Amino acid sequence: MNKKELLNKIYTELAESLNITDTMTVEIINSYEAVGNYLGNLEEELDIQIYPQGSMGLGTLVRPISSDEEGDYDVDLVCLLKNGSYLSAKDIKQIIGKRLSEGERYKSRLDEEGKRCWTLKYPDFHMDILPSVPHLNQSTIFDRKNTEIRLTNKEEEGVYSDKISNPKAYREWFIEQMEVTFLKRREIVAKKRNVEIEKVKLFDVRTPLQMAIQILKRHRDIMFSGKENKPISIIITTLAAKSYSGQTDLYDTIETILQNMHKYIEKDSSGKILICNPTVSSENFADKWEESPEKERAFFDWVRSAQTDILQNPMEFSGGFGSMKNQLRETFGSRAVNQAFEVYEKKNLNDKNIGNLGVNDVGNLVNNTAENVVAPLKKHTFYGH
């Protein structure tokens, strides 16, 4: 096989090694559902609902790097007070904080109040809980399909202000960017699990876009380990989704994203950079770039480094398989790369043993089903025949 095919296979295994395990997924879901039940029982009249947003909800959560002092999964959750639209920004935040601080199970896990969230710390993950209420105005008050939320933002001087967002609409938009691939792979997962397709969640599916985002985020985490101005995940995710155009190979997906991300960064009439929420135009994910230009520079430095480290250097590499492995360790971390190569090598050996590999007309290893296969590769046995 050629380098591109090899990298595609290795990057696919790398994305799997970076992905959250099924066991951890179940543990996180059970934990946040328990929080939802606890809050809901105490505030029945507010009809509280908790659901994942961000990386957890989109299926792009990445295993933390082992060198990170805060090496746990970051789980973002919306805590929606469905009947609380009348509440002030401060009350929305304080009601949830008060209830969490009163709970025997949660008060020892509760961190100090954040700008927008309350954080509960667990051994292997922490939950950032975002108190919010439905956003009702003249255009949405009678719209049952409206999923906009009003959340709170605590300023440095202790003043609470309102912010508008729409995590559910963002999730639907994200799916639309990869709809054909997502639907095909979702159907495969449903058949494999023998369940109805509606029961397969977004984070159960593995598409090239989701895996590409995970690989890009891991590269960022390694590059900015112990440093400031790390590009935020929502900017990477939004620009990646906008850049994606239906590629089925992971390498092609990463290449397309890195080559096109800059095209979706806009400026307003005053020159302010805009990377807007595609579902709430007033929400600018790059709002901090104006006051902190170093964040903008860090983002573009990261894009250039990712192009070099993920695309250019591996394709131009002329050393052996072990040397490539060492190079990728520096880019993505030893643990994840070692695991990816181990799985790849096992699968490759298995294909040899069952006769699934052949040689094509230019001398590359290919699957025996390929159209240009010239000769099958002899099966490998432990006694050398």
Tens of pLDDT, residue by residue, the chain (385 residues): 688 999 999 999 999 999 999 999 999 999 999 999 999 998 999 999 999 999 999 999 999 986 544 568 999 999 999 999 999 999 999 999 999 999 999 999 999 999 999 999 999 999 999 999 999 875 655 555 789 999 999 988 889 999 999 999 999 999 999 999 999 999 999 999 999 999 999 989 999 999 999 999 999 999 999 999 999 999 999 999 999 999 999 999 999 999 999 999 999 999 999 999 999 999 999 999 999 999 999 999 999 999 999 999 998 877 777 888 999 999 999 999 999 999 999 988 876 666 554 434 433 445 554 444 444 544 543 333 3
Q: What is the DSSP letter of 221?
A: H
The sign of the torsion formed by the CA atoms of 242, 248, 254, 258 equals negative
Domains present along the chain, CATH in parentheses = 3-18+173-346 (no CATH), 25-165 (3.30.460.10)
Token pair recorded at residue 276: 């807007």
Distance CA 94, CA 100 (A): 10
Res 374: pLDDT = 43
Q: Which residues contact 52 (CB under 8 A, 6 or more apart)?
A: 32, 75, 76, 77, 78, 203
Residue 47: closest CA among 80, 90, 96: 80
Res 123: pLDDT = 92
Taken as a whole, the chain contains a residue count of 385
φ/ψ of residue 368, rounded to 5: -60, -15
Res 318: pLDDT = 73
Question: What's 254-293 look like in SS3?
Answer: HHHHHHHHHHHCEECCCCCEECEECCEEEEECCCCCCCCH
Res 165: pLDDT = 95
Res 71: pLDDT = 66
- What residue spans of the chain are helical by DSSP H? 3-18, 22-42, 54-58, 89-102, 167-177, 179-193, 208-223, 233-243, 250-260, 293-306, 313-316, 321-332, 334-353
Reduced to 3 states (helix: H, G, I; strand: E, B; else coil), residue 135 is coil
